[in-house]
Structure 1
Amino acid sequence: MKILLLGSGKVAEFLARSMQNIIIISNDSDVVNDLKNLLLESQIIYGKCDDEETLQQAGIQDAEVAIIAFEDDDENLRIANFIERFCPRKILIVVKDPSRISAFQKYGVESVICPLVETIKRIENLIYPQSQRVSEIIVLEESELVGRKLMDLDLPANTSIIGVLRGHHLIAAEKDLTLQKGDHIILCTLGVLPPVMEEKLFGKGRKPKPFAKVVAIIEDKYDLTSVLSEASYLAHYTGSELVVASTDQKIAQKAIDGLKDSGTDCTTIILEKSNAIQSFLHDSAISKSEACLAIRPSDLFFRELKRLPDNRISSSGVRVILLCKGLFPYRKILTLFDGSMESEKCLDLSIRVAINLNSGLHIILPFDMRHEIEDKLLYLKRLGRMYGVEVNEEPVEGNIMIEIVSRVRSGEFDLFVYAINSRAIKKDILNRIFTEAPISVMIVTG
């Protein structure tokens, strides 16, 4: 992550001590000289922060975060307005005067930090550690909160809504405000919420589930150590039901015995030897709920998959196919947004898997689509932050197919999530990724 600091004073010195990937721009020669003992020469730029050439030399066009920290708050606001044209993904301002925070927010600055306010909050929390709690709620698509007005939430007397974030805008908590998918509700609670209200607001189990079932296709003894192990891991951490499906009764029984030894419960389905995949997709035990099909990548599987019409898959319960390579836990997940509806489904699935498995999420997208997906990324980052998951995006200016193949082969990631109908990668290259990639691949089918 590339971070720029524009300003001077103690903030620059402290950040230089704690961040290795920071670049500091300052026109204060004393500050620049002091920083030479802490940073590389390439990380310190002497110049004016409102000079376009200086900003481009610092690489502001590639910056993830721009931190503005001058001693004068008016200068902070002026520089923030100036650098906005270069589109850093996040602008963060450090202000001295607490009374100026609302003024900065009115100018559209989303992230404002006041050291004095943060100090006061810290002191209050130390003196009254249980006096109040600020909670965040993301309104998910399946949430019962969608379409409801704030007045209908029937909150306890000790709970109030501070506001609702919708995209970049903070909306006042008016009683007749109707909640939408993706809204970010900020709650302030005195004491502890009753369990019934916790479930109502946050949802049962708190974490959004990516699918209801994980079905492991076990064809031979080799699948017991690869497919079954990975499917069991996924089912356990997503809270999904585990199903073992096989054409061989003996193999299925070995799978059940192995799972019992580890304390894992599962159900079993015996498939017909011919047309096993078609038989599976239409099994009544599966088609009634969304399922993730875990299978070993093989030529036979891909041949059968090609023979199935798209509507045959989408009409079944299978929404996700996991090609298991045995690489788990999933520490880092890679996915792609190419502007299609299918790739947007990939984003929704990826963040849910990342939340349940406590994985980092990395999104690659075409450079010219970064504004198109801005609100969606903001939603994903807020949802990730709520559950302690880091979400990063990387706009690619060149050939996105080459970038994806490079990342998949790099060994940096453990899981690649991709939409089967996406056109960003050619079919022959995609098939090679499916079969030859050193990481597991999760395919969104519908």
Structure 2
Amino acid sequence: MTYIIKGMMNDSVLYYFLYDQTMKIMPAQRTGLGTNRVFSMKKNKITIIGLGNIGIEIIKRLSREFEIFCIDLTPDPAEILSTIRKDARFLQGDATSRLVLEEAGVGDSDVVIITTNNEKVNIEVATLLKEHFQIDRIISVGITKQGIERLEELGIEVESLFMAAAIDIRNRLEQYSRAAHAIGLGKDEILEVEVHPDSKLANKPIGALAPIRWKIGLIYRDNNIIIPRKDVRLKPRDRVIILGDPAVLKTVSEILTFNFQQFPMEYGTTAIAYLTGDEDYSFIDEIDYIFSVFPLKRIVFSCSKKAENNPGLLDYIREKDHIKDHDFINSILPPENAIYHAIDETRNEQGLIILSRHTLIDSRKHFVFSIGKKDFLHGISSYSYSPVLLCAGSFPYNRTIVPCTGSINLQHSLETAIEISLSLHNDVSAVLVEPSEYISSDADMALFNEIKKTVNEVSLMYKKSIDTVTLKGNPVKVITNAFSEYNLFINDISGMKRQGFITALLNPDILWLLIKRATISTLILPAVEESL
């Protein structure tokens, strides 16, 4: 991946804007996982042309995972470059020359950024790039109104030099993401927040937000009042009145203002775990790990009669370091009903339901048939509207896998994987299966390309590199084989079909087959349903 910055520009005010664009990179791909890979992985390549203040500052802040190639008209910056990034390569040359750009490998670029303070040069370089190279994105500094219009006519993304300065000053006077302001009773049950351009809720229709324990009251936009309806989209800089449970509103306001709160606080602060009595101590160890990395405040253990009579297991829970605030609820009800009862007892404050994969999904003791296990998970997810974690002992969660099948809400799964990675600092992989060239239809290929586009858009939105893995073969088989290289499998339950026995035979549920066969801990997200 290549980013090109041309010019010895001494004005550093644009650095922050262009660095933000530079970090919007395409997802990376790794080698490994056997012979089913279609693509191999190499470092994202960033080419910087013109090592002025902006170029140097960007290099200082770029991750070591990038390969950096620099071009400048004079040899002077080479010495500075060697002191801040020894692995970067340097070429002296004029970027308005097509031969120099070809030598730099600009044809492999995904993004080119032009930052000279000579607008004629910017337009000349942009024209050259458009005519002779296939580049997905070209970004240029614009100076005059006429110059900006000309660049935009060429299909160039333009950052106005003077607009950047004005926004920089504005941001010094007020926070870029405004804090929520309490009104009403003063208990933070009614908040006014400003939607940040990079919020995951920006530009989404309200009907797709699925608020639980909170609602949108009013939207203020350009001095107008907008009544929230399903088809109304939240726009960046909208001021939004939100109402609901103060604990939940705090997290929602942070999502809207792009100040991330850790997963799973947008759902609730309490975890509920079900104990059959057959769990080994590793299940408790994984729960303790979960509380060490996620900001859950309390856990309620719903205990079967057998668990109630297992003092060794209960004593082991009491000894753990991170689950000190815990309660036990004894129940003679079947697992599903016992969990429903625990949810009611916690006043719907649940943020995560924790189950043992080995005792409830892999075993036939509680559910003889596969369809019973599937209905159990559907019921728990629907009743709790919280993520359900099937623990398999594969912690710590150093690597997360999100299988990209056409049936799941992919964006929801990827966004959650990234939110979790902000807490765990782990790697996120999106795994795709390429349609067979012999039996796939045009619709299959269109869906495959749409999935790749979604992965890229989420990566750009969160400025988080997502490792894109493309496999060939039977989706269930190749993805199941890939699980061994990961610790956490994330999916959305909306992709898990409710089917009868005959229907399942004729039309297999890929996501359910993956969940059944997974050997790692599995996080099942609740479905996003229409609100209002």
**TM-score (normalised: structure 1):** 0.62
Q: Deviation of residue 249 (structure 1)?
A: 0.5
CA distance in 2, matches of 1:61, 1:306: 55
Alignment of 1:312-391 (within 5 A): 312-313=375-376, 315-318=378-381, 320-325=388-393, 327-328=395-396, 333-341=400-408, 343-347=410-414, 349-351=416-418, 353-354=420-421, 357=423, 359=425, 362-366=428-432, 369=448, 371-372=450-451, 374=453, 378=457, 382=461, 384=462, 390-391=463-464
CA distance in 1, matches of 2:510, 2:378: 25
CA distance in 1, matches of 2:210, 2:513: 36
The alpha-carbon distance between structure 1 residues 344 and 56, as it changes in their structure 2 partners (threshold 3 A), is farther
- Which structure 2 segments of 5+ residues have no match? 1-24, 26-43, 179-193, 203-207, 256-260, 382-386, 435-444, 497-507, 528-532
Q: Which residue is 1:280 aligned to?
A: 335
Q: Deviation of residue 341 (structure 1)?
A: 2.7
1:237 is aligned to 2:283: no
Q: Deviation of residue 180 (structure 1)?
A: 4.9
- Which structure 1 segments of 5+ residues have no match? 163-172, 273-278, 385-389
Q: Deviation of residue 257 (structure 1)?
A: 3.8
Alignment of 1:23-422 (within 5 A): 23-24=68-69, 26=71, 28=73, 30=75, 37=82, 43-44=89-90, 51=98, 58=105, 61=108, 63=110, 66-76=112-122, 79=125, 82=129, 86=134, 88=136, 91-95=138-142, 112=159, 114=161, 118=164, 128=173, 133=178, 136=196, 138=201, 141-143=209-211, 153=218, 155=220, 180=231, 183-187=234-238, 203=252, 207=261, 209=265, 211=267, 214-218=271-275, 219-220=278-279, 222-223=281-282, 225-233=284-292, 237=295, 242-246=300-304, 247-251=306-310, 253-254=314-315, 257-258=318-319, 263-270=324-331, 279-283=334-338, 284-285=340-341, 292-298=352-358, 301-304=361-364, 307-309=369-371, 312-313=375-376, 315-318=378-381, 320-325=388-393, 327-328=395-396, 333-341=400-408, 343-347=410-414, 349-351=416-418, 353-354=420-421, 357=423, 359=425, 362-366=428-432, 369=448, 371-372=450-451, 374=453, 378=457, 382=461, 384=462, 390-399=463-472, 409=484, 415-418=488-491
Q: Deviation of residue 222 (structure 1)?
A: 1.0
CA distance in 1, matches of 2:267, 2:169: 43
Q: Residue 298 of structure 1: SS of its match in structure 2? A: helix
Q: Deviation of residue 391 (structure 1)?
A: 2.9
The alpha-carbon distance between structure 1 residues 300 and 25, as it changes in their structure 2 partners (threshold 3 A), is same
Equivalent pair of 2:286/2:395 in contact (CA under 8 Å): no
Query: Percent sequence identity over matched residues?
Result: 10
Q: Which residue is 1:12 aligned to?
A: 55
Equivalent pair of 1:210/1:238 in contact (CA under 8 Å): no
Q: Which residue is 2:502 aligned to?
A: none
CA RMSD of aligned residues (A): 5.6
Q: Deviation of residue 233 (structure 1)?
A: 4.5
The alpha-carbon distance between structure 1 residues 397 and 41, as it changes in their structure 2 partners (threshold 3 A), is same
Letter in 1 for 2:395: L
Higher relative contact order (CA 8 A, sep 6+): 2
Q: Residue 294 of structure 1: SS of its match in structure 2? A: strand
Q: Which residue is 2:187 aligned to?
A: none
